[in-house]
Structure 1
């Protein structure tokens, strides 16, 4: 936990970005009955719906730059994770010297997966540009990408959508608007706060 909090105290450095990565599933569904409009203009859906495919939403969030990139994938296994990480290093942050990547400590988040997807030279070149920082078990709330997911859910993904392309269009508009405004994370929780508020997690000496 303290390692993550120390990373969040670093000043902004263009060529040494701190990026938070998280993923979340989204069930694509459609209404089985025609939705109704309320007197207030809101859409009322019947409790019944038709399930379609399930997609995984990957969120890359650079809190100090107010930059986020959202990608839709078919699954959240280690191979898809490796492709997302490679895209981050080679395209989105190609000019970076070193990227600090904060993420949950999940089975799918394994650096060795890069070698299953890419040739050894390319896999190593990608990994050499990353400093991995993992949130502790039951500590995923320390991942600031969850803050962006919360906003995305309230503004976009809470709505019923049956089509992946439609979902991607809505997310793209949301992402573009927030990036243009450079919406950053207002993170205040620091190591000293943790030692007071979470003192029962520390051993008694």
Structure 2
């Protein structure tokens, strides 16, 4: 049976080694010779033979459970290590390192030493990297924030109305990057290769509209993002994209050019007023772009279409139009799940506390 197992099929290396030990023992070779021939220790030979005698062939060949080394830190000690990693670093140091955490832990506990590897493993188990930091805009959640957030969330939950569509709008810059050398096409076993050098050919701007209730989006490519460009986008919105709508409910951020005043600066008053009478403005709170559905769509556009080098504005226009047509035809929509009720539950502690009227 052992000889047949070794001559046919695939087995784990340790299982094959144990079978070879048993065959050699059956041939009456001593432990030292078996160990030297198979490049194992004599204790391994002895354990394998003993398991065969005491528990049989299957147990002798099988892998035993390995309990592993006992954890060096108790639950409370691991919690202390994690809390230390989340605290401010010691004076004179910009951030925690594994060595600093090990030294601090020894000072706080009865442990005489703690290895760098033990610290690394405990931090990895808790997805902590205290030597890293990200810059982030942390918005102030006040009454103004809540009012704008709930206004936008209520729009998303309303039933679709062709005469009063909800349209999300934003813009995003993109670089025009050209190749210095021709890329080498992909082939079996080899991915596409392109040179690390490239040419900067300027920038372009993407104005993106997204209908919150149907599978429709459109992207306009411009050289700049001035108030004139914004005003023209608003004209396109009412005259080209939604000519039949009575009132377009527009969700947008607080960029300085994203105001009704921009139309008056760039158009005759009568034209500006004509356009503005068809638009209802809904601003997101300052900084939380996640509340604008179109931000998700811009992310999809970047991953599916723009994640490569595009050298000219003409090619950018062609590529974006092709992506837009395919995406609209696919029926792709954003399913928005966050609503006012969930916001009040999730952000309950951040909501402002009503102040009593002192006069009453």
**Superposition TM-score, scaled by structure 2 size:** 0.55
Q: Which gives a bigger RCO, structure 1 or 2 (Cα 8 Å, sep 6+)?
A: 1
Which range moved further: 192-201 or 61-70?
192-201
Is residue 2:29 matched to residue 1:29?
Answer: no
Tell me the distance in 2 between the aligned counterparts of 1:126 and 1:204.
Answer: 39
Question: Secondary structure at 1:199's aligned position in 2?
Answer: coil
| 1:54 correspondence with 2:185 | no
Cα shift at 1:41: 6.0
- How far does residue 140 in structure 1 lie from its aligned partner after superposition? 1.1
C-alpha separation in 2, matches of 1:124 and 1:135: 23
Comparing both structures, which one devotes a greater share of its residues to helix?
2
Using the TM superposition, give the Cα deviation of residue 35 of structure 1 relative to its aligned residue in structure 2, in angstroms: 1.9
Q: Which residue number corresponds to residue 4 of structure 1?
A: 152
**Cα distance in 1, alignment partners of residues 224 and 346 from structure 2:** 37
Q: 2:279 aligns with which of 102, 127, 130?
A: 130
Question: Of 250, 267, 278, which residue of structure 2 is paired with 1:101?
Answer: 250
The worse-fitting range, judged by mean Cα deviation, of 193-202 and 126-135 is 193-202
Corresponding residue for residue 189 of structure 1: 338
What is the SS of the residue equivalent to 2:202? Answer: strand
Cα distance between partner residues in 2 of 1:102 and 1:119: 24
Q: Shift of residue 189 of structure 1?
A: 0.4
RMSD over equivalenced CA pairs, Å: 1.4
Larger radius of gyration: 2
Provide structure 1 residue ranges, at least 5 long, that are not aligned to the other structure.
Answer: none
1:200 is paired with a residue whose SS is: coil
Q: Which runs of 5+ in 2 are unaligned?
A: 1-148, 355-360
Q: SS of the counterpart of 2:349?
A: helix
TM-score, with length taken from structure 1: 0.94
Q: Which residue of 1 aligns with 2:132?
A: none
